[in-house]
Chain A
Amino acid sequence: MAASNKPIIWLPFAAGGTVAAFVMPSIMVVVLLATAGYLSGGVLDFERIHGFVAHPFIRACLFFLVGLPLWHAAHRLRMTVQDLGARSATARRILAYGCYLSAGVATLLLAYSLMHGW
């Protein structure tokens, strides 16, 4: 049987889907309520969030909490667009590169943002 590289993609896909399922809705609710002005007490004030994210442990967590869903989305989008009709070898190659390169660039920006200037 030919060696498969699928587990390499599956792990971030499954982990990212799980992280997104468990953590994303509550984060979205907090940001939505705060930006819509329903929360008092400056929940998203710069000093507060900056101080919070400055902890190395929090930044390590954020790398996985934000980074894994990126790869989940990239892989699922690739598979779905393939299902929707991108079936030629060329279309599939462009699709795969497009999805994973986007996730890669976003991950690099995430890593830079979490490592630089803290």
Chain B
Amino acid sequence: MSRVQPKMPSMSYSWWVKRPNYIRYMARELTCVWIGAYAIALVIGLFRLQQGADEWQAWLAAMASTPGLVFQVLALVFALYHTISWFHLAPSTMPVWRGDQQVPPIIIEVVHYLVWIGISIVVFWLAGG
């Protein structure tokens, strides 16, 4: 498979600060840094869990340290932003058709929020139960 490498037009590295739209786009895309970092933290947690009680306790202590808590709060903020932006785009990325009529975007978005609330209740119930 050969790929043509077109000549790229020059573009400043800060193109995305020029419009609020672009800044929101960049904020949305960069949520992935926090999603990825938190997923890696969970991988390490499961690795430590499998090793034993002391190792699990050490992972908990790291998460409970000041840097750990700051990381967790930031990750939560960006994860919520990811959730909101993901649901907002869902009607465009996964349009639903009923016959030849498109289901209104707001309904798709609201259904996402309802499912999210349901899943969150299950997670809280599992954690508390």
Contacts and interface: CB of A to CB of B under 8 A. Distances in A.
| Size class of the contact patch on chain B | 35 or more
B68 interface: yes
Interface string B45-65: 011011101001100100110
Nearest to A17: B86
Contact of B13 (A39, A47, A62, A84): A84
At the interface, is chain A mostly helix, strand, loop or mixed?
A: helix
A28 B76 contact: yes
A32 interface: yes
B68 A23 contact: no
A22 B116 contact: yes
Given A50-B49, A53-B49, A43 B127 contact: yes
B127 A30 contact: yes
Interface of A: 2-3, 14, 17-18, 20-32, 34-37, 39, 41, 43-44, 46-47, 49-50, 52-53, 62, 66-67, 69-70, 72-74, 76-77, 79-80, 83-85, 87, 89, 103, 106, 109-110, 112-114, 116-118
At the interface, is chain B mostly helix, strand, loop or mixed?
A: helix
Q: Which residue, A37, A44, A85, has most C-beta atoms of chain B within 10 A?
A: A44
Interface of B: 1, 5, 8, 11, 13, 16, 26, 29-30, 32-33, 35-40, 42-44, 46-47, 49-51, 53, 56-57, 60, 63-64, 68-69, 72-73, 75-76, 79-80, 82-83, 86-87, 93, 112, 115-116, 119-120, 123-124, 126-128
A102 B39 CA distance: 12
Contacts of B112: 21
B50 A25 contact: no
A80 B83 contact: no
